[in-house]
Amino acid sequence: MKTYIVGNWKLNFTVGEASVYLHKIQKKIANYRDIEVVVAPTALCLQPLSLQLERSKVRLAAQNAFYRDFGAFTGEISFAELNGLVDYAIVGHSERRYIFHEDDKMIAKKVAASIRNKIRPILCIGETESERAFGETADVIRDQLLGGLSEIGEDEVSKVLVAYEPVWAISSTKDAKIATPDEIAEVVKMIRDNLKEIYGAKVAEEVPVLFGGSVKPTNAGAYLTVPGVNGLLIGGASLILSQFTDIIEVAKRVK
């Protein structure tokens, strides 16, 4: 299985800045057979960046999209419009859940729309600090995982990437903490156990599971060696060329 290194740029970079940054990334990294490097710029940047993309080195992801393909939905961008432009889409990120109040029902529709339009969804799941403190991690992970997969068929589940992002460990979160490899391993096992219970052992093994939460070059190696982790979803460090490319090099060494 490939190792996935996904940079979520969030609401950063103008079109011009994103273009220059992508050029620098592609100039600095090599073509890695077993490592999939993915960047997720703002929606405004996707089309122009797609024209300069070296797909053997970098793939594009959307940060978000709407679950209806067409219609009277002012201001929205659909997965249908992104078909052929991006290979991946981030769905269910904690910022979408807690700032924009997207629930599991909406996220499930987005996962289905993504797959329907031949885009691989990166389904983000993770508990808050209070949920972990009250011993609710297992319930939250199960509800968000199975809720997010509820609108697709069993034969489509292996097309999904699952990203475990504990909200309490995201660097943009106030008083963020660092997740330990043992804490991550425990939840990754929960994810694969849930997948195995519902969809069988084969699917549970085929679904890539990523980790995201204050990932830096100094801890990327430890996270990538956690059993069952197949890659990283990176926020702040993906905006800094030296850190992002260093993480890619760490992934290469670990692989």
SS (H, E, C) 71-135: CCCCCCCEHHHHECCECEEEECCHHHHHCCCCCHHHHHHHHHHHHHCCCEEEEEECCCHHHHHCC
Going by pLDDT thresholds of 50, 70 and 90, the confidence category of residue 177 is: confident
Place of tokens 């290194």: 5
Q: How many helices (H) and strands (E) does the chain have?
A: 11, 8
* pTM reported for the whole predicted model: 0.96
User: For the segment 16-60, what is each residue's pLDDT rounded down to a tens digit?
Assistant: 999 999 999 999 999 998 999 999 999 999 999 999 999 999 999
Cβ contacts of 184 within 8 Å, gap of 6 or more: 164, 211, 223, 226, 229
Q: Which of 36, 81, 93, 95 is catalytic?
A: 93
State how far the Cα of 236 lies from the Cα of 52, in Å rounded to an integer. Answer: 23
Collapsing DSSP to helix, strand or coil, 160 comes out as coil
Alpha-carbon Rg for the chain in angstroms: 17
Q: Which of 36, 102, 127, 165 is catalytic?
A: 165
Going by pLDDT thresholds of 50, 70 and 90, the confidence category of residue 168 is: confident
State how far the Cα of 178 lies from the Cα of 215, in Å rounded to an integer. Answer: 9
CATH number at residue 64: 3.20.20.70
Please state, rounded to an integer, the average pLDDT across all residues of the chain. Answer: 95
Q: Following CA atoms 228, 230, 233, 237 in sequence, which dihedral angle do they give, to the nearest 10 degrees? A: 110
Token representation of residue 108? 């499930």
Can you tell me the mean pLDDT for 145-168?
A: 96
Can you tell me the mean pLDDT for 102-130?
A: 97
State how far the Cα of 229 lies from the Cα of 213, in Å rounded to an integer. Answer: 13
Burial 89-123 (b: 16+ CB within 10 A, else e): bbbbbbbbbeeeebebebbbbbbbbbbbbebbbbb
User: For the segment 181-239, what is each residue's pLDDT rounded down to a tens digit?
Assistant: 999 999 999 999 999 999 999 999 999 999 998 899 999 999 999 999 999 999 999 99
* Count of structural domains within the chain: 1
The parent domain of residue 237 ranges over 3-254
Is 93 marked active-site? Answer: yes
Going by pLDDT thresholds of 50, 70 and 90, the confidence category of residue 172 is: low
